[in-house]
A and B are shown apart, each in its own frame.
Chain A
Amino acid sequence: MEEFLRRDEHEKLYLKLYEILKMKIEKGEWTVGIQIPTEEQLCKNYDVSRATVRNAISELVREGYLKRIQGKGTFVVKKVTPRESITINLKDIMKEHGTFYTKVLAKTVMTPPEEIVNKLELSDPTTHLIYINRLCYLNDEPTIIQYSYIPYKICPSLIDEDLEKNFLIDIIERKCNYTITHIHNHIGISYLNEREQELLNSRDNPVALTLEQFYYSYDKKIYYNQTLKKNDDVKLFVELRLY
């Protein structure tokens, strides 16, 4: 089955195809040395114009993943670095600081408040969402609060999943067949409300680091995550590996 291409932004169609083709290389569906389908075949598979296919391939050629060989076709010449190395996953970062575990405080279904409708850009404000609230402990000290909002239709089975043992992203990818292609991260500062201060034992220090994350599968927003980390001695270390 081929991925669906949304057509509301024509000028970016080739970028969407580029993401799809890139994922095929990253996921190992297309390995190094393999010949990719012809331009005609790709036009047919994704129902796009020749120009769109050519632009997407040219971008991957420019980045060194694909190579065009005259008279033979287009070949994969380099593996795409998996996304883990460029993702800020707070939990992975925290693990380096000691024992880490998660408690699920809430997992329920809701019709979203206005703010979340806007964040997820829902066309129907009455869409049902799965709401998950987690409290993460580092060395037995409550450190992080996470709020996640996932449209119910994206992953109905999520409501029965164990989120203390599994990662949300893994469940959405494995059980609900979505490939998360990119994550938009917004970092900021916020004040903890009373409940949050109590949960994090930080009445005297109500400022928190905020990480807002939008998880995308190609051009579709899959879910929204808000992470609050209390202001303590733990410093965050992020390494961006380019190769």
Chain B
Amino acid sequence: MKEEKKVRDLMVSVFDYPHIPYWFTIRQAISIMKKSFIESEKTILPQVIFVFNEKYDLLGTITPFEIVKGLEPKMKMVSIKDADVIYYDENSLTEVEASLFSSEVKEKVERPVSEIMVSAKVFISPNASVIKAGFLMIHHKLSVLPVIENNKFVGVIRMLDVFNEISKIILEEV
């Protein structure tokens, strides 16, 4: 039986990811996201931006998901009784498409990213097991988990790497 991998062995540097302070606007975040994930030659996965306060403490994360969600106008939802699925009213969707050019969105993109970020509430120690990191990520629906040592943000562990580790164990065990 191989020795179990620790978070420390698999974590990646925080400097692999873009950093922004919480007062940056959504527009600035969009621009940084485009430069980092679309126009860049480096492949950074998953596509996450880390948000910090003025003392360089981690506050939260932003992905393209939060940006799109942050720009969504209030829509008329047509909910169907006894169903889990929510359908959008077709007329309303047309309004949504037009709304990307509206003054409402223009105002929204000037708002600070702190309003749309996902707050960082779950952390892990570098000495914890990779499996524990994996389960924490599942329970909190995270694709990256910040690694904290002595109150300092020292790295991140990614679902990709957790999966890779698990796949090795499963596939090599014959």
Contact = CB atoms under 8 A, between A and B. Distances in A.
A121 B49 CA distance: 23
B36 A108 contact: no
B32 A108 contact: no
Contacts of A110: 19-21, 24, 52
A60 B15 CA distance: 43
A196 to B, nearest CB: 13
A111 B36 contact: yes
A125 B35 contact: yes
A124 to B, nearest CB: 8
Contacts, number: 47
Chain B interface residue bracket vs A = 10 to 19
A234 interface: no
B19 A113 contact: no
A126 B32 contact: yes
Contacts of A105: 54
Interface residues of A, number: 16
A126 B31 contact: no
Nearest to A126: B36
Given A126-B36, A126-B40, A128-B19, A109 B54 contact: no
Nearest to B27: A113
A133 B55 CA distance: 11
Interface of A: 105-111, 113-114, 125-126, 128, 131, 133, 152, 159
19 contacts: A106-B21, A108-B52, A108-B54, A108-B55, A108-B56, A109-B52, A109-B56, A110-B19, A110-B24, A111-B18, A113-B24, A126-B18, A126-B35, A126-B36, A126-B40, A128-B19, A131-B21, A152-B15, A159-B56
